């Protein structure tokens, strides 16, 4: 049996849709998913341009795609709680059969969750990378995160006096960071984002806005002090440019905690300021335990709308639409939405 997949043909090569064999049954402990929605992430173009995560020639041709939603096609030996036809979402990995930009993918059952009826496949596909990057960074114990809530239980009273700043609040990751901070009970969640996004970000729990188009990173310190004279206990920098990291780190008091999403560019580190470069994916060995915790809690968090998906834009053309979507992501032409491909609509 065959399927369509988007292949990155070689290191620094090109994407093209190809016909490849498809898995027909699930392995033990796993689920085989018919992929209805596969969301795009900046890392997809970063793999192509910079070979991040897949540095070896042997990794190619590669299938990418970390954010999967679809229908259970087959259930492997030992898996309970799922049956053929269930609507599910899954955190994909950097391994061909376990990635999303294809029509069928394998998934370890412990990193699969059911989609509440009220959410579509497209909406559900926005959750894994964005939510996990927020949750690992804020809540997992070091070195994976800054350890605010390693059990991810509802522990609101602990953070009643705390303030947080989210740099890049309208990114996919930022939208989930705001929601996780609200879940943790932070009373002040300042977001640095475009002003037009503020009404939307307020629905997730943002309390104050600093307009990124009016305030350069060099003035962020002053702008934050106009919002609150209290210390900023937690900074989550979803953008993690050289200047945003410097601005966030400068704001942090001794004992403060900061999460960044790309390589650490901060000079002149200060002992007492905690900094974590997060990796929001369940597949590395030391990530699995917290991943299982999060996937076990996600269906209820979604059902109760404590966590809600990003807004989506459905791309036309099935897997063929991904290349243009990645061009837009790379050129900063996407604001406040997640681009989603539908592999089964491929011609």
Q: How far is the CB of 40 from ligand NAP (least distance, A)?
A: 8
Q: How far is the CB of 239 from ligand NAP (least distance, A)?
A: 5
Angstrom distance (rounded) from CA 312 to CA 294: 23
Q: How far is the CB of 264 from ligand NAP (least distance, A)?
A: 11
Q: How far is the CB of 193 from ligand NAP (least distance, A)?
A: 5
Q: How far is the CB of 83 from ligand NAP (least distance, A)?
A: 31
> Which 8-state DSSP code applies to residue 58?
G
For ligand NAP, the closer of residues 6 and 278 by Cβ is 278
Q: CB atoms < 10 A from the CB of 19, how many?
A: 10
Nearest residue to ligand NAP, using CB? 194
For ligand NAP, the closer of residues 251 and 329 by Cβ is 329
For ligand NAP, the closer of residues 42 and 61 by Cβ is 42
**Which single residue is written with the structure tokens 């990635």?**
99
Query: Which two tokens mark 187?
Result: 């009373």
Q: How far is the CB of 213 from ligand NAP (least distance, A)?
A: 7
Hey, CA dihedral for 343, 95, 79, 40, is it positive or negative? negative
Q: CB atoms < 10 A from the CB of 103, how many?
A: 24
For ligand NAP, the closer of residues 34 and 257 by Cβ is 257
Residues in a beta bridge with 7: 16, 63
Coil/strand/helix, residue 159: helix
Q: How far is the CB of 335 from ligand NAP (least distance, A)?
A: 4
Q: How far is the CB of 59 from ligand NAP (least distance, A)?
A: 18
CB 26 within 8 Å of CB 74: yes
For ligand NAP, the closer of residues 172 and 245 by Cβ is 172
What is the chain's Cα-based Rg? 20
**Which single residue is written with the structure tokens 């702008």?**
223
Report the relative pairing of strands 257-260 and 311-314 from DSSP bridges: unpaired
CB 204 within 8 Å of CB 166: no
For ligand NAP, the closer of residues 23 and 309 by Cβ is 309
Residues contacting 91, CB < 8 A, separation 6+: 66, 67, 68, 111, 128, 129, 132, 281, 282, 283, 291, 295
For ligand NAP, the closer of residues 112 and 220 by Cβ is 220
Report the relative pairing of strands 274-277 and 257-260 from DSSP bridges: parallel
What distances in angstroms separate CA 285 from CA 94, 148, 177, 290, one per listed residue? 14, 21, 24, 10
Binding site for ligand NAP (CB under 6 A): 41-43, 129, 133, 168, 170-173, 192-194, 197, 212, 238-239, 261-262, 278-280, 329, 332, 334-336
Of the candidates 147, 144, 149, 184, the one whose C-alpha atom is nearest the C-alpha of residue 164 is: 184
Q: How far is the CB of 332 from ligand NAP (least distance, A)?
A: 5
Task: Give DSSP secondary structure letters for 167-191.
Answer: ETTTSHHHHHHHHHHHHHT-SEEEE
For ligand NAP, the closer of residues 227 and 262 by Cβ is 262
For ligand NAP, the closer of residues 15 and 131 by Cβ is 131
């Amino acid at each position: 049996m065959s399927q369509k997949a988007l292949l990155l043909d070689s290191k620094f090569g090109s994407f093209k849709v190809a016909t490849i064999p498809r898995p027909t049954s699930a392995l033990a402990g796993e689920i085989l998913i018919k992929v209805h929605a596969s969301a795009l992430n900046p890392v997809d173009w970063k793999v192509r341009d910079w070979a991040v995560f897949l540095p070896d020639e042997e990794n190619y041709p590669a299938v990418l795609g970390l954010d999967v939603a679809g229908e259970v096609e087959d259930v492997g030996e030992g898996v309970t709680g799922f049956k053929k036809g269930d609507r599910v979402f899954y955190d994909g990995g950097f391994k061909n059969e376990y990635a999303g930009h294809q029509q069928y993918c394998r998934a370890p059952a412990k990193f699969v969750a059911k989609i509440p009826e009220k959410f579509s496949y497209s909406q559900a596909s926005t959750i894994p990378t964005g939510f996990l990057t927020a949750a690992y960074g804020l809540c997992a114990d070091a070195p994976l995160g800054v350890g605010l809530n390693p059990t991810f239980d509802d522990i609101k009273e602990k953070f009643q006096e705390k303030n947080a700043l989210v740099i890049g609040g309208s990114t996919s990751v930022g939208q989930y960071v705001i929601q996780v901070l609200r879940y943790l009970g932070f009373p002040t969640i300042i977001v640095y984002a475009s002003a037009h996004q503020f009404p939307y970000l307020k629905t997730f729990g943002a309390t104050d806005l600093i307009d990124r188009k009016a305030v350069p990173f060099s003035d962020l310190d002053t702008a934050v002090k106009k919002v609150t004279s209290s210390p900023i206990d937690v900074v989550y920098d979803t953008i993690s440019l050289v200047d945003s990291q410097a601005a966030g780190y400068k704001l942090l008091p001794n004992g403060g905690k900061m999460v960044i999403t790309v390589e650490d560019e901060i000079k002149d580190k200060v002992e007492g300021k905690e900094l974590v470069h997060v990796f929001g994916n369940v597949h590395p060995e030391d990530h699995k335990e917290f991943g299982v915790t999060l996937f076990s809690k996600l269906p209820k968090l979604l059902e109760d709308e404590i966590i809600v998906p990003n807004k989506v834009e459905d791309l036309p053309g099935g897997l063929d639409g991904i290349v243009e979507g990645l061009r837009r992501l790379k050129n900063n032409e996407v604001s406040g939405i997640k681009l989603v491909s539908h592999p089964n609509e491929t011609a």
